[in-house]
Amino acid sequence: MIKACIFDLDGVIVDTAKYHFIAWRQLANKLGFDFTKEYNEKLKGISRMDSLNLILSWGDVQKSDEEKVALATEKNEVYRSYILQMDKSEILPGVLPFLNDLRAQGIKMAIGSASKNAPTIIQQLDLAEYFPVIIDGSKVERSKPDPEVFLKAAAELQVQPSESIVFEDAEAGIEAAIAGGFYPVGVGDPSVLDQASVVIDGFVGLELEGLSARLLAATK
Ligand code: B16
Ligand code: MG
């Protein structure tokens, strides 16, 4: 019996990867190198500092810890200038009807995101009323694939992982959901998210009842 749904944010509720890409690319170009959208895919679900370390390694650039903090802050300022212009038109298709359906059924909801900007994004999208619990990158010590972010969300919602679904678009997030004992639903490419019990291509037309049946069948 499903009592809660925990949603990753970037790539599940909204596509912010395009803004992360613009901001990281601008920083890389300033440092004298470039990187492609294919490389940007590798940054999904990865924390800000881990992302910076990967990007610097792609450009073969070395920086001190102090310089890295300054570079991450600079990138975040550029990124924030984009997300502060977002509004609810950027909520991914089918998400709002699905959230309304969950709410009508009394299913509890939370956000479990690596992004320290998650509360700002939820405000911009006008979704705060749906998510009384937002566990973001500033509330956890260990990043995905560690399950801490989802376990904290379940604890705040007062539900067990075994009665909760996690929706994730990143491999590390699916691994985190499995490690925490949640029902993992991948959102995106089944060949990338092959560890998820069920993979959906989005929320259009999705219903909890059918999804729960697929999850039960997959985990039997
Ligand atoms: P911030 P999610 C993740 O969000 C993004 O997928 C990832 O690309 C980003 O680096 C990370 O948040 C940290 O974001 O710089 O805003 O703290 O997918 O876990 O919702
Ligand atoms: Mg994500």
Question: What rounded mean pLDDT belongs to the chain?
Answer: 96
* Placement of tokens 């300033």 in the chain: 30
Is there an atom of ligand 1 within 6 Å of 124 CB?
Answer: no
The distance between the two most distant Cα atoms of the chain, rounded to a whole number of Å, is 53
| Residue 220 scores a pLDDT above 90 | no
Annotated catalytic residue 10: yes
Question: Residue 219's pLDDT is what?
Answer: 81
CA of 112 to the centre of ligand 1 (A): 11
pLDDT (tens digit, 9 = 90+) per residue, 95-142? 999 999 999 999 999 999 999 999 999 999 999 999 999 999 999 999
Domain 4-14+91-218 sits in CATH at 3.40.50.1000
**Cβ atoms < 10 Å from Cβ of 99:** 21
| Residue 173 scores a pLDDT above 90 | yes
Q: Measure the CA–CA gap between 186 and 184, rounded to whole angstroms.
A: 6
Domain ranges of the chain: 4-14+91-218, 17-83
Going by C-alpha positions, the residue among 20, 84, 8, 18 that lies closest to residue 50 is 20
- Which chain residues have CB less than 5 Å from ligand 2, an ion? 8, 10-11, 45, 169-170
Domain 17-83 has CATH 3.30.870.10: no
Whole-prediction pTM: 0.95
pLDDT (tens digit, 9 = 90+) per residue, 51-63? 999 999 999 999 9
Residues facing residue 134 across a β-bridge: 111
Annotated catalytic residue 65: no
Sheet arrangement for strand 198-200: 133-135, 108-112, 4-7, 164-168, 183-187, 198-200
| Residue 86 scores a pLDDT above 90 | yes
Going by C-alpha positions, the residue among 172, 168, 164 that lies closest to residue 199 is 168
